[in-house]
Amino acid sequence: MKSDLLPLAKDIISEHYRVGSAGIILSRNFIQYNNQDLKEFENEFINKVKEIREVEEDLQNKDEDFFEDNKEIVKKDIYKARGV
């Protein structure tokens, strides 16, 4: 899950996991269709979903301190992205 956007996708997913969200809305940055072959797009989509599931699986083993630290990281990244 590589991105130049702040906060990072993995951090946002971790925050949703911490607060017990039942779902999240994926942005257009999740995957972009650039008139490539439909099968290629499908494979890329499947791989992106797999990456998210791997992050979710890893989160099951994290302790409360991890989530509190991540919460602060997300907060700082939001302020940084807003230029505050």
Pick the residue with more confidence: 1 or 20? Answer: 20
Q: pLDDT by residue (tens digit) across 45-70?
A: 899 899 999 999 999 999 999 999 99
CA-CA distance, 84 to 76, in Å (whole number)? 9
Question: Which amino acid makes up residue 41?
Answer: F
User: Using an 8 Å Cβ cutoff, are 44 and 31 in contact?
Assistant: yes
CA-CA distance, 15 to 73, in Å (whole number)? 10
Pick the residue with more confidence: 84 or 57? Answer: 57
User: Using an 8 Å Cβ cutoff, are 29 and 5 in contact?
Assistant: yes
Confidence of residue 16 (pLDDT cuts 50, 70, 90): very high
